[in-house]
Structure 1
Amino acid sequence: METVDLLIRARWIAPVEPDGVVLDHHALAVRDGRIVALLPASEAHARFTADTVHELNSHIVIPGLVNAHTHAAMALMRGLADDLPLMEWLQAHIWPAESRWVGTEFVEDGTQLAMAEMIRGGVTCFNDMYFFPDIAAHAASRAGMRAVLGLIVIDFPTVWAANADEYIAKGLALYDQHKDEALLSFCFAPHAPYTVADEALKRIRTLANELDLPVHMHVHETAHEVEEATARFGMRPLERLAQMGLVGPNLLAVHMTQLNDAEIRHLAEAGAHVVHCPESNLKLASGFCPVQKLLDAGVNVCLGTDGAASNNDLDLLGEMRTAALLAKGVSGNAAALPAATALRMATLNGARALGLGDEIGSLVPGKAADMVAVDLAGLESRPVYHPLSHLVYATSRHQVTDVWVAGKPLLRNGRLTTLDTDAIGAKAEVWQQRLMENA
């Protein structure tokens, strides 16, 4: 018999590849952090002996969820300024709070809070865009979580950097320091077309092409953004980015609520990716991303939560449901964005957008063993006719019981293994008092 480190026998396994497939009574065998086999449970029993065996008789096992857009440390601002439109929310509340409080301690504590929430909800990889990415990198490494760190660039000075040149220099230094770490990867993260000048964007394009790194950017988030850009530059933001050579396979365009048919065709032809953040867009009344039109055109669409300050959670299972329901309402088609597509958007599509499609996003032999077990035994999930539909339409993150990254357990029977929930909660309370006293 073959020896493996971990054997998971589950009632259902949804590998994502092939699309829409659910396997009954199958098993995953893991060795050295990688999936070595996916096979019927009866065959696994005869073929493998394992150091650790999990019998998940009422669970569906899925690939680890990929949160393709968030601002992790902003979890400490959850609920700070609700029920406001985007620019008022940013300019009158969030940016002033950031200028007062953001520093290494804030990012350390906020990132830990965000990771604890995400892991408990089945997220194994997050794509972050925030200040002090060096602190977030260390926090993710200590927690054993997979992270894509945004090398942020913005025109105005912050506590992180004084100008675009310094942002880029610090980002490149961080990339050089950590580029060989297995669970960390990087992308350029210019904030938005309206906050980054042409010269910096052109330099980012050159560096992204040289280093083959994604470019992660808020684009066409609101009608106001598009109108302002048209008045200022004589063109819509996406056209401006295209003129600088930034619309291509490296681009992760976040939000994209304001798109016409010609722009959708352009995105498809260019091979660009769209990160859909349905709940944040709804809460800030930013508009509706035409997800079904993008998918029909062949655009790779993935899912993000945005930050907890504008959502107000980091629940990617919830985003799957909202995305599926919203797509049906926006398109007028009840068949739009079916459950299997929602799961793919939250896993493999996100992995591919981040350049990690060969490593994570589906449960196939050879890939990293980033996996999530969701218990469907509760009365709220009975009866189970179609497990994928249940996962998207009837399941909550509180049903996640186990999470593994590269075969290592980060959540075991609902308890975090690498993060201290009591300490994280206590620090969150301290930050609440600080921000409230100086609101």
Structure 2
Amino acid sequence: MVYPEKIDTLLEARWVIPVEPAGIVLRDHAVAIDRGTIRAIVPSVEAQEQFAPRERIVLGNHAVMPGLVNLHTHAAMSLMRGIADDLPLMEWLSNHIWPAETRHVDSGFVFDGTRLACAEMLRGGITCFNDMYFFPEASVRAAVASGMRASIGMIAIDFPTAYASDADDYLAKGLALRDDYNQHPLLSFCFAPHAPYTVSDRVFGSILTYAEQLDLPVHIHLHETEDEIRNSLKSHGVRPIDRLHKLGLLGPNLIAVHMVHLNSDEIGLMAQQGCTVANCPSSNLKLANGLAPVATLLSAGVNVGLGTDGAASNNRIDMFEEMRFTALLAKAQSGKADMLPAWQVLQMATLNGAQALGLGAVTGSLVAGKAADITAVDFSSLELAPCYDPLSHLVYVAGREHVSHVWVNGKLLLNDGELTTLDERELLLRAEFWRERMTTGPQNIE
């Protein structure tokens, strides 16, 4: 006699969208989860005979998909949401963001801001984020407290801040943090030089050496504005991509963020070198920087993932919005309605981002043996009716407000819309504390 296999959780749903194989929708299937790992995905009828779960969850009108992977954000900047809107990038940075960071950013700010961002991300179906900010040890504590999967950027920049005195100090602190948390199951690390205009050739050389030795991604803002390119030509005699190529930084470990202003040779070079682009359409639109040539990049064979950027420049950490914008803008740019179908956009928001972070074997798709990083979207609302194609609905109809459940590594972090690891009331109080402090100064806060 064959007895059912004991497992932790059996998750049954009307639709399971695994991302791998691409474009597949499994109707009335179940995801078997045990010890944080996907054990199997089988028809619900078979699952009830094959498994004996400690917990059975039936989501009768839901689509279950991999958790979304936010390939680029500055999580702590959620506390700067709306602080300086409707301004060009360099004016926004130079006159508002950088002065505010100088006055207010410390480990407490980063801890509170990152927890606030984690709550927003979890409620929007995001299970993994790639962060770039100061005081990354505080980002680590916040990510661990939330239960999210995170790639923590070891930031490097050529000017001093409250976090570090110089570029070497940034790197030393980042590497020490990685050593402390290198075995944590939900954390990974990448080098995060801010941008070509804030990092010297010498520092890029050090980062390249470390990245090759440790086999870690390099996460950088690149070709975001026309001013960046003009200044690079003036200072270095070449465009930023050419400069990084000469320094040896272009390769499969490079995650280039924004990549708005590109010529055909640069697109070919990115493809030839196996680089990844993190497309952040909402931020690019809001700062009027332009639009990344996503369709052309994909056609050339470049891996493209999606990011939200920070809430200070978006002002939402909303991957559903980024998916919809990416799909619609690609169609408008190309003049082809069949450009970037929904299945491909969902893949960009999940598996492509995971692969860029070196996590493709861990997350980004629902496959037996991978971590149970799962998002469930409730299709019961009238604005989602009727549904002919649930995969298309995820990109063109559903929003983050329809996310009902989120698991990371098999742990339920969002249960029927309620956070399980973070206290919403406390987060709101801390957000108000920082709003008052940044508005009136710390001397007026008890």
TM-score, with length taken from structure 1:
0.99
The aligned runs of 1:380-395 (5 Å cut-off) are 380-395=383-398
Match of 2:334 in 1: 331
CA–CA distance in structure 2, aligned partners of residues 178 and 430 of structure 1: 30
Match of 1:105 in 2: 108
1:32 equivalenced with 2:48 (yes/no): no
The aligned runs of 1:191-270 (5 Å cut-off) are 191-270=194-273
Aligned-pair CA distance for 1:156: 0.4
SS at match of 1:148: strand
Match of 1:177 in 2: 180
Match of 2:356 in 1: 353
SS at match of 1:60: strand
CA–CA distance in structure 1, aligned partners of residues 224 and 115 of structure 2: 27
Aligned-pair CA distance for 1:142: 1.8
CA–CA distance in structure 2, aligned partners of residues 132 and 250 of structure 1: 23
The aligned runs of 1:360-439 (5 Å cut-off) are 360-438=363-441
CA–CA distance in structure 1, aligned partners of residues 368 and 231 of structure 2: 49
CA–CA distance in structure 2, aligned partners of residues 144 and 438 of structure 1: 32
Match of 1:147 in 2: 150
1:42 equivalenced with 2:24 (yes/no): no
Aligned-pair CA distance for 1:214: 0.2
Alpha carbon RMSD of aligned pairs, Å? 0.8
CA–CA distance in structure 2, aligned partners of residues 397 and 438 of structure 1: 34
Aligned-pair CA distance for 1:232: 1.2
CA–CA distance in structure 1, aligned partners of residues 261 and 140 of structure 2: 33
SS at match of 1:346: helix
Match of 2:26 in 1: 23
SS at match of 1:259: coil
CA–CA distance in structure 1, aligned partners of residues 420 and 410 of structure 2: 13
* Aligned AA (2:428): G
* Residue from 79, 84, 87 that aligns with 1:81: 84
* Residue from 293, 297, 314 that aligns with 2:296: 293
Structure 1 unmatched ranges of 5 or more: none
Match of 2:54 in 1: 51
1:124 equivalenced with 2:127 (yes/no): yes
* Aligned AA (1:88): E
* Aligned AA (2:23): G
SS at match of 1:228: helix
* Aligned AA (1:374): V
Aligned-pair CA distance for 1:438: 4.6
TM-score, with length taken from structure 2:
0.98
Aligned-pair CA distance for 1:398: 0.7
* Aligned AA (1:143): S
Match of 2:282 in 1: 279
After superposition, what is the alpha-carbon deviation per residue over 1:193-245, rounded to whole angstroms, capped at 9, x for unaligned? 00000000011001000000000000000111111111111100000000010
CA–CA distance in structure 2, aligned partners of residues 173 and 147 of structure 1: 17
SS at match of 2:198: coil
* Aligned AA (1:288): L
* Aligned AA (1:220): H
SS at match of 2:197: coil
CA–CA distance in structure 2, aligned partners of residues 20 and 261 of structure 1: 29
* Aligned AA (2:287): L
SS at match of 2:312: helix
CA–CA distance in structure 2, aligned partners of residues 332 and 260 of structure 1: 19
CA–CA distance in structure 2, aligned partners of residues 273 and 159 of structure 1: 31
CA–CA distance in structure 2, aligned partners of residues 325 and 389 of structure 1: 13
Match of 1:302 in 2: 305
After superposition, what is the alpha-carbon deviation per residue over 1:30-87, rounded to whole angstroms, capped at 9, x for unaligned? 0110001001111101111101111111000000100000000000000000000100
* Aligned AA (1:427): R
SS at match of 2:339: coil
CA–CA distance in structure 2, aligned partners of residues 438 and 319 of structure 1: 34
CA–CA distance in structure 2, aligned partners of residues 100 and 358 of structure 1: 41
Q: How many residue pairs end up in the alignment? A: 439
SS at match of 1:347: helix
SS at match of 1:308: coil
Aligned-pair CA distance for 1:428: 0.3
Match of 1:64 in 2: 67
* Aligned AA (2:399): S
Following TM superposition, the consecutive aligned residue runs of length 4 or more in structure 1 with deviations greater than 6 angstroms are none
Aligned-pair CA distance for 1:435: 1.2
CA–CA distance in structure 2, aligned partners of residues 14 and 286 of structure 1: 34
* Aligned AA (1:311): N
Match of 1:187 in 2: 190
1:168 equivalenced with 2:171 (yes/no): yes
SS at match of 1:39: strand
SS at match of 2:299: helix
Aligned-pair CA distance for 1:144: 1.0
